[in-house]
Chain A
Amino acid sequence: RKEVEQDPGPFNVPEGATVAFNCTYSNSASQSFFWYRQDCRKEPKLLMSVYSSGNEDGRFTAQLNRASQYISLLIRDSKLSDSATYLCVVIPISSGSARQLTFGSGTQLTVLP
């Protein structure tokens, strides 16, 4: 099983729709979680951190489910500009290795007019 798994998609949704992605992780000791966004042929950029209690940033909501070992990203009222690949990042509390960050392979979202 991969350390971090994401449904690659693509998710094709109409403008204004609500869409959600999940990201599952295998290391139960994982402590920090993030969502990054990567536009086509661009570098990844931080979208938001994921806090234990869940957090919102405008139309974006991130949640953590420790029992089932996944994080989720919900996008409400999707815009054309939300079209991108969404990457989850998981960091264990103590990996024993300097390579702490594990990226998922990304979920591709296309918002259609």
Chain B
Amino acid sequence: GAGVSQSPSNKVTEKGKDVELRCDPISGHTALYWYRQRLGQGLEFLIYFQGNSAPDKSGLPSDRFSAERTGESVSTLTIQRTQQEDSAVYLCASTSGANVLTFGAGSRLTVL
């Protein structure tokens, strides 16, 4: 597609439920990032995928968070047993390797 697409745009869930967020990067972009942004805060790195290399998971805050990417296509970020502190906007970005990121509009997660 023309841009990075994320779904759902908004998700309200109950504490303890699992959620799955999806990111469709720009076609041909080999690198994909997930960030978390809490209200009024900066971007917090979560995970990085580059082609078929092992992902850099160093930013995942706990083992409740996991992400997958198949080749250079869609990525999913899964949060298990959600907590209220997981409430945030989850941003996905992709790049062709020129170090310029194109972000999706984000998935706003609210955990009640």
Contact = CB atoms under 8 A, between A and B. Distances in A.
Contacts, number: 47
Given A87-B42, A87-B43, A104-B42, A46 B101 contact: yes
A44 B101 CA distance: 9
Contact of A98 (B53, B100, B102): B53
A103 B42 contact: yes
A1 interface: no
Interface string A28-60: 000010100000001111100100000000000
Interface stretch (B12-20, B66-74, B75-83, B103-111): B103-111
A97 B104 CA distance: 24
A105 interface: yes
B99 A32 contact: yes
A44 B43 contact: yes
B56 A99 contact: yes
A99 B42 contact: no
Nearest to A44: B103
A106 B48 contact: no
A12 interface: no
Nearest to A33: B99
Contacts of B48: 98-99
Interface of B: 33, 35, 41-43, 45, 48, 50, 53, 55-56, 58-59, 91, 99-106
